[in-house]
Amino acid sequence: MKENINNKIKNKNETKNRKKLTNYLGKYKLGIFAYMFVYVIACGCNIFMTIILARAIELITTAVYKNAIICLGIVGGLYLVRRICWYVSGLLYNKYANAIMADLNIDLANQAFKLNSKTYADNDTGVFVQRIVYDPERIVSNLSNVVDIVTEIISSAIMVIYIACLNLYVGLALLGIISISTVIEIYRTRYLKKARADVFKKGDKINSLTTEIVRSEKDIKSLGLEQSLNKVAKDYYRSYTKANAHLETVNMNYYSLRNLLIEIAGVLLLILGVYFIDIGTISLATFMLIYSNNDHIRGLVWDLGEILTVVTDIKVCSERIFSIFDDNLFECEKFGSLQVENVKGTIEFKNVEYSYVEYEKPKDDEKKKKGKDKLERKVASTNKIFDNLSFKIDAYATVAFVGRSGSGKSTILNLMSKMYDVDGGQVLIDGIDIKEFDKPSLRKCISLVNQFPYIFDMTIKENLLLAKNDATDEELESAIERASLKDFVQSLPKKLDTKVGESGIKLSGGQKQRLAIARALLRNSPIIIFDESTSSLDNFAQEDIKHSIDKLKGKSTIVIVAHRLSTIRNVDKIFFLEDGKIEDIGTFDELFENNVKFKNLFYAENLK
């Protein structure tokens, strides 16, 4: 009960402190104020220029040329002031827009590091790329547009008010035109928000597919997947194009209706003006003023529509961006606050339960009805992996988990390294539940070498220094040698300073894994996990890695998952898994001698 109350309080605080766009704007409020102040001066120049020009026209029509020239001189001075203001505002915009965008990008990238592994597994790559890279730029660009459009609205509005004050009937006609056009714009932007969110979602899928095609070009070519993927790409692009075309068509229909109304109203307004001249209600100068500023009427309605469009765009992008900070939608890793030093490396699973759960994605109307914070995720499917799983690994032991595909080997490693969280039971390191560890303590004590390690678009040395930024040259050389990478590095013209390309594209599969192993060895963690880390190595390199692992025996707790059973002959203990249960435990020789399934698995893999 107490835990539930604490969770509710925590969720309430998280909701209260959730990031908003105003948090980022507030940080630079003085600079933004200066930008807007300068822009307002430029806007004021526009307004006075319009009014004074109107006065100059009136003076010219009444042959008062001297005063007309003075008015035009003032207009020239205002042009100069406006130009200076625009230049200064441009400098301020460049400075603060880039700062705001950088803050958004950095915070979003940091948040991306906090998301748990399942969140990434449940979402396309494009979902994150678009939100982290493109949406902030779109928001900042639109914020500038808001200022531009607002100043235009103010300028046009003052001129329209000025014209309306000249004649009551003209004023009422203008009010009617603007009111009807605004109603049309409100309906247009309501549709726009929903349709644009759908277009962005389809754009995310295209971005994900493009990323996958670029990263897997060798597999695509070698397996002849071009045609199949081309069909998938066509389907995605057609879906995106169809949604975007429908959005633009509806948008155009609203625009056309509004513009037609304004154009007809403009002509009627001029007819009304001619009628008023005929009956002597207004002068010719006033009529000329209405005629010459007819564009301000059209511009005011246009700008009102544009401001609604831009604000809608900002709102959609903001919702997409800040949804990443919403744990209900994009779940984060959870850590404790305990700082743990001098970890020895004893690992224990106590009555662990874990299931792969797929959730249904909430629909937009459900979000609106319940609100994001009250929204309960609906389970689409559940696959039970472990039920009451228990075992213990002694500190400094070297153990392996083996079993057929789907038996739960990699899931154990993910739970062990807290990439996944258990549904029930405990995972303990040195008798402490890993949920209590703070993030630095847990990450420091475990190094994981994946089956398909990611190598960054850096030099070999820079990739290694990511694991330990203060590593000495001697430590780097030692890690490279222990990972059987020394001969390869020495054969390169630039040695450690060789760039490996994005995702290590310039390296073979075996070289990538050896570099990843060197990176893990450099951290010198008390627990080192190898997940199929020798699967891409040739027999010679595999033998070298086996020797490297043997050298670590007694210095760290080594946990290995391997399909190639010949790589684990020398481990202290093997856990044989089947259907999420530990069927047997023993040395290689004991299992080979006494367990028929283990022996058959060994022969089936043709590794003897």
Please tell me the pTM assigned to this model.
0.67
- How many Å separate Cα 338 from the centre of its chain? 30
What mean pLDDT do residues 10-16 have?
A: 45
Separation of alpha carbons 432 and 426, rounded Å = 9
Looking at mean pLDDT, say which of 276-285, 379-388, 466-475 comes out highest.
466-475
Task: For the chain, give the mean pLDDT.
Answer: 78
| pLDDT in the model for residue 67 | 86
Separation of alpha carbons 189 and 441, rounded Å = 50
Separation of alpha carbons 386 and 243, rounded Å = 43
- Residue 459's Cβ-side half-sphere holds a number of Cα atoms within 13 Å equal to 11
Nearest 10 degrees: CA dihedral of 265, 266, 272, 277? 170
Separation of alpha carbons 524 and 472, rounded Å = 13
What are the tokens at 45?
A: 């120049």
DSSP, collapsed to helix, strand or coil, labels residue 438 as: coil
- Min mean pLDDT across 39-53, 222-236, 473-487 is at 222-236
Quote the DSSP letter at residue 97.
H
What mean pLDDT do residues 574-591 have?
A: 88
Residue type, 11: N
What mean pLDDT do residues 418-443 have?
A: 90
Cα maximum dimension of the chain: 117
Backbone angles phi, psi at 380, to 5 degrees: -90, -40
Comparing 529 with 168, the larger pLDDT belongs to: 529
- Min mean pLDDT across 194-203, 366-375, 520-529 is at 366-375
Confidence tier at 372 by pLDDT (50, 70, 90): very low
Do 439 and 339 form a contact (C-beta atoms < 8 A)?
no
In the predicted structure, residue 456 carries a pLDDT above the cut 50: yes
Confidence tier at 320 by pLDDT (50, 70, 90): confident
Q: How many CB atoms lie within 10 A of CB 94?
A: 10
| pLDDT in the model for residue 427 | 92
Comparing 504 with 34, the larger pLDDT belongs to: 34
Helices (H), 323-438: 364-370, 409-416
Looking at mean pLDDT, say which of 116-120, 275-279, 333-337, 516-520 comes out highest.
333-337
DSSP lists the bridge partners of residue 398 as: 558
- The helices-and-strands tally (H runs, E runs) of the chain is 22, 10
Confidence tier at 350 by pLDDT (50, 70, 90): very high
Strands (E) across 360-493 are located at 379-393, 398-403, 424-429, 432-433, 446-449
Encode pLDDT of 83-95 as tens digits.
Answer: 898 888 888 888 8
DSSP, collapsed to helix, strand or coil, labels residue 416 as: helix
- What are the residues whose beta carbons fall under 8 Å from the beta carbon of 467, sequence distance 6 or more? 447, 519, 520, 522, 523
Comparing 504 with 143, the larger pLDDT belongs to: 143
Confidence tier at 39 by pLDDT (50, 70, 90): confident
Cross-sheet strand order for the sheet of 379-393 = 379-393, 347-359, 424-429, 432-433
What mean pLDDT do residues 118-141 have?
A: 79
| pLDDT in the model for residue 379 | 65
Q: How many CB atoms lie within 10 A of CB 370?
A: 12
Separation of alpha carbons 295 and 298, rounded Å = 5
What mean pLDDT do residues 220-236 have?
A: 70
In the predicted structure, residue 57 carries a pLDDT above the cut 90: no
Comparing 530 with 374, the larger pLDDT belongs to: 530
Integer distance in angstroms from the first to the last C-alpha of the chain? 56
Beta-strand relationship, 347-359 and 379-393: antiparallel
Separation of alpha carbons 582 and 578, rounded Å = 6
